[in-house]
Amino acid sequence: MPGRRLSLVVVALVLIAAPPLAAGGPPEFSATTDEAFDAAALGSYEGEHSAVYAHIDQNLDAHLGSIQRWLRQRSISAQNVGIQEMAEMLRSDLEGMDFAEAELVPTSGHPGVWGYYDAGADKTLVLYLMYDVQPVDPEDWESPPFEANVIDHQFGRVIMARAATNQKGPERAFFNALESILAVEGTLPVNLMIAAEGEEEIGSPNYPEVIAKYEDRLRSADGVLFPFNSQDPRGDVSMFLGVKGILYFELEARGNETGGPKEAEIHGSLKAMVDSPVLKLIQAIASMTSVDGNTILIPGYYDPIRPPTHEEETLINALLDDWETQETMLKQAFAVDRFANDMTGRDLLMSYLYTTTLNVDGIWAGYTGEGSKTILPHMATAKMDSRLAPNQRPEEALEMIRKHLDDNGFGDLEIRQLGGYPPAQTSVEAPLVQAAIRVYNKYGKTPDVSPRIGGSAPYYVFTELGLPLVAGGLGHGSGAHAPNEYMVIEPHEGSEIADLAQIEKFYVDLLYALAE
C-alpha cells in the first residue's frame, strides 16, 4: 500500500507540473549534417545581350512611368477598390506586347488574367502574378500611397507606394524587360504563360479556378517565375524555394442562448449579472496560446510539421554563416529590440522556417472612441491568421482550432474562414532554380538560398502540378503590408542595390538562361 500511495504522489506531482492544456510544443529539429550548400559553385550565366541592355538604358524614364502607372491604379482586393480597372490594365499591357492570348478570367471572386505569348520556343515559362494590393491607412504614409512619387530615402531615390515592392514594382519591371527584348529582337527566347490573380492579399480563395481552367497547358510548362525584389539593404540576394501556407479567419463571440446580451450593447454595470461576449472572445484566444503568446496550446497543432530534408539542412547550414548580421538587420527593419522567447541563431531561423504561428491581425468590440463609455458590448470579433509549415494543411488546422474551442467551453464562437491554402516547396535541384542562381552569380550576387520564407503565397497551385517555382530578381524594397512601402529605383553611389536598369537586365538574362 505505501507503494501505491507513492505512485499516487508521483501521478499527482506530474499533474501539477503539466501545462494548463495538454499539448505538444513547437517542433525542435536539431541539425543532422554539417554539409552546407554552395551557390557560387554553380558558376555564372555567360550570355550578353548588349542591344537589349542599351534599349533598357535609353527607355528608362518610360519604364519608370509604366511602373508608376500600375502603382497609381488602386487595386485593394479586401475592399474591392479598382480591381476591374487593374485587371484590364494588365490585360491591355499584354495585348500591347503582342500576346496571342490576353483575357480576363472570371472567377467566383475577383477576375484572374491569362496571357500566352507564343515564341515558337522549346521552353515555356509561366509567370505567376498578383495584381491586388493590401489596404492602407493613408495618414500613416510619408508620401501618399497611390501617388507613387519618386522621393529621397535612406537607400537612394525610391518609388514610395502601396505595392511598390509587393508586387507591382518588380512585376512591371519584368514587363519593361520584355518590351525591350521585343523591341530589339522581335520575339522572346521562351514561350510565356501569364497566370495572374487579384486576390493574393485576401488569401487567394479563387485562384484555383484560374489554374483549373488552364491546368493541362500549365502542366506542359518548365517552371514558374514570380518577379521579386530579392536584395536586402546591403544588396545581398536572398532566394527562397518555398512559402508557408496560411489559414485566415474571423473569430466572433456574440450574446446567445448560453448568455450575454443578444441584441445590442447594455449598460456596463450589468456585468454583475450578465456574461460578457468580449471576455469570452478574449478568454478563447488566450486559451490558444501560452501566456507569452508564443506557443500554440491547441492539441496536435504542431504535429504535422515535417523535419527539414537533407537538402534543406544544407541550405540552412549555409544561411547560418551570415545569420548574426541578418538578425541585426531584421531587428532594425521591424523595430524590434528582442525576438520572441529571446531566440537567436539557429533557433530563431528554424522558428521562422519550421514553426507555425497564431497571430491576431485585428480585434474590435464595443466603444473605441475618445474617453469613457460604460457598456457591456453584445459582440466581439478578431481577425486571426496561422502560417502553415510543411506538411500542415489549412483544413486540418481549422479542424483542430474548432475542436479546441469546442473542448474548452467556446463551442458557441463562430469561425468564419476568409482564406486558406497549404505551403509549397521547390527543390534547389530544379533547372529553373539552377538557372536563376547562375544569373545572380553573373551579377556578383551569389544568393543566400532559403528553403522558404515565413510569408504565404498560393504557390501550391503550381508545385502540386509538379512545376518548380522561383520568386526572384534583383532590386530592393520593403514595407509590404505596412506604411511607407517602397522600391529603390536609383540607389546611392556605391550601393550594392541594383538600379532599375539592372533589375530589368537581370530578367532579360534569366529568360535567355532558361532557354539554354
Q: What distance in Å separates the CA atoms of residue 403 and residue 408, rounded to the nearest whole number?
A: 9
| Candidate residues 33, 374, 406, 516; the one interacting with its own copies per rule CB under 8 A | 374
| Candidate residues 51, 151, 212, 286; the one interacting with its own copies per rule CB under 8 A | 286
Our finding on whether 139 is near its own copies (CB under 8 A) is no
Our finding on whether 348 is near its own copies (CB under 8 A) is yes
Our finding on whether 451 is near its own copies (CB under 8 A) is no
Written as one string, the DSSP assignment of 267-303 is: EGGGGGTS--HHHHHHHHHHHHB-TTS-SB-STTTTT
Written as one string, the DSSP assignment of 427-457 is: -TTSHHHHHHHHHHHHTT-PPEEES-EEEE-
- Single out the segment in contact with its own copies by CB under 8 A; choices: 132-140, 147-155, 187-195, 216-224: 132-140
- 471-510: which residues touch its own copies (CB under 8 A)? 480-483
Contact present, 205 and 461 (Cβ < 8 Å): no
- Cβ within 8 Å of residue 354, ≥6 positions away: 27, 29, 305, 307, 308, 389
Q: What distance in Å separates the CA atoms of residue 455 and residue 477, rounded to the nearest whole number?
A: 16
| Candidate residues 34, 61, 139, 370; the one interacting with its own copies per rule CB under 8 A | 370
DSSP tag of 51: H
Our finding on whether 405 is near its own copies (CB under 8 A) is no
- Single out the segment in contact with its own copies by CB under 8 A; choices: 115-123, 217-225, 271-279, 434-442: 271-279
Q: What distance in Å separates the CA atoms of residue 200 and residue 133, rounded to the nearest whole number?
A: 8
Instruction: Please return the burial class of 346, using the count of CB atoms within 10 Å of its CB with bins 0-12, 13-18 and 19+.
Output: middle
Nearer to its own copies among residue 369 and residue 466 (C-beta):
369
- 70-129: which residues touch its own copies (CB under 8 A)? 77-79
Our finding on whether 278 is near its own copies (CB under 8 A) is yes
DSSP tag of 111: P
Our finding on whether 140 is near its own copies (CB under 8 A) is yes
Our finding on whether 147 is near its own copies (CB under 8 A) is no
Nearer to its own copies among residue 21 and residue 183 (C-beta):
21
Nearer to its own copies among residue 102 and residue 202 (C-beta):
202
- Single out the segment in contact with its own copies by CB under 8 A; choices: 33-41, 112-120, 335-343, 435-443: 335-343
Our finding on whether 340 is near its own copies (CB under 8 A) is yes
Our finding on whether 330 is near its own copies (CB under 8 A) is yes
Residue 13: count of CB within 10 angstroms of its CB: 10
Nearer to its own copies among residue 236 and residue 385 (C-beta):
385
- Single out the segment in contact with its own copies by CB under 8 A; choices: 40-48, 83-91, 195-203, 423-431: 195-203
Nearer to its own copies among residue 370 and residue 429 (C-beta):
370
| Candidate residues 154, 310, 338, 493; the one interacting with its own copies per rule CB under 8 A | 338
Our finding on whether 20 is near its own copies (CB under 8 A) is yes
Residue type, 493: E
Q: Contacts by 333-341 with C-beta closer than 8 Å and gap 24+? A: 333/478, 340/292, 340/294, 341/292, 341/294
- Cβ within 8 Å of residue 365, ≥6 positions away: 277, 278, 281, 377, 379, 380, 381
Our finding on whether 280 is near its own copies (CB under 8 A) is yes
Burial string for 189-202 (b: 16+ CB within 10 Å, else e) reads bbbbbbbbbbbbbb
Q: How many residues bind its own copies (CB under 8 A)?
A: 111
Nearer to its own copies among residue 356 and residue 446 (C-beta):
356
DSSP tag of 76: B
How remote is the C-alpha of 461 from its chain's centroid?
Answer: 15
CB of 218 to its own copies, least distance (A): 26
Our finding on whether 387 is near its own copies (CB under 8 A) is yes
Our finding on whether 375 is near its own copies (CB under 8 A) is yes
